[in-house]
Amino acid sequence: MQPMIVCICNAIREDEIRRAARNGAPCPIAAYRSVDCEPQCGQCLPYARELIDQERAALISMEFRAA
């Protein structure tokens, strides 16, 4: 299965956005910077934000269960 492309302009994949979020990127701009890119057309930003929110929620849930 091919990784899903989130940003066509920069060819940023879903796994790259998720990894950036797990490494502390709080927003799409920071996630894009982590792969040496910046948004071009902006169409991908809502989906990138959704992925980051999912990852952050999962991290919080894991931390809560560990406490």
Cα gap 21→16, rounded to integer Å: 9
CATH class of 5-66: mainly alpha
What tokens does 54 get?
């999912």
Q: Which positions ≥6 away from 21 have C-beta within 8 Å?
A: 31, 51, 52, 54, 55, 56
What tokens does 41 get?
């057309």
pLDDT of residue 58: 92
pLDDT digit string (tens) for the chain, length 67 residues: 777 999 999 999 999 999 999 999 999 999 999 999 999 999 999 999 999 999 999 988 877 777 6
What tokens does 66 get?
């560990």
